[in-house]
């Protein structure tokens, strides 16, 4: 018996819910609004795409700028190292010439002293 009452109540509740549903008609104004919204979304999408492409170009330009900057810095670094090596060799050459000249003088002095010591063996 209780089961029968529950079945009747559930069936009546479902029919009441179906009766209470109100159909909302889709009007031409709704259609026009949907079309307008769709066109606004399309134009917004195209503007976003244009801005995105612009930013991509700017990033590519910055990338090229960094490549050039690092290339110039590395070139300057290599030039400075080469100049330092060249300058060191250039600055060292007079010192080497003086050392050779001093070595020659000392050899002559040693030879002269040996001859003097042979002649004056006192």
How confident is the model over 55-65, as pLDDT tens digits?
999 999 999 99
Local structure of 22: helix, strand or coil: coil
Pull the structure tokens for residue 115: 């001859």
Q: Is the pLDDT of residue 14 over 90?
A: no
Q: What is the pLDDT of residue 22?
A: 61
Local structure of 117: helix, strand or coil: helix
Q: Whole-angstrom Cα distance, residue 99 to residue 92?
A: 11
How confident is the model over 66-109, as pLDDT tens digits?
999 999 999 999 999 999 988 888 888 888 889 999 999 999 88
Length of the chain: 122
Q: Which of 111, 95, 60, 100 is nearest to 68 (CA)?
A: 60
Pull the structure tokens for residue 84: 């330092």
CA dihedral 35, 38, 42, 45 (to 10 degrees): 160
The DSSP secondary-structure symbol of 27 reads -
> To which residue do tokens 């063996």 refer?
121
Q: Whole-angstrom Cα distance, residue 16 to residue 8?
A: 12
Whole-number percent of the chain with pLDDT over 90:
43
């Amino acid at each position: 018996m209780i089961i029968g009452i529950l079945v009747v109540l559930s069936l009546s509740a479902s029919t009441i819910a179906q009766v209470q549903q109100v159909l909302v008609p889709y009007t031409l104004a709704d259609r026009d609004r949907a079309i307008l919204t769709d066109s606004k979304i399309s134009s917004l999408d195209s503007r976003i795409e244009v801005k995105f492409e612009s930013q991509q170009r700017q990033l590519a330009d910055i990338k090229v700028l960094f490549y050039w900057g690092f290339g110039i810095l590395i070139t300057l670094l290599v030039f400075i190292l080469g100049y330092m090596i060249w300058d060191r060799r250039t600055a060292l050459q007079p010192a080497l010439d003086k050392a050779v000249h001093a070595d020659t003088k000392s050899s002559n002095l040693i030879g002269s002293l040996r001859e003097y010591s042979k002649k004056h063996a006192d």
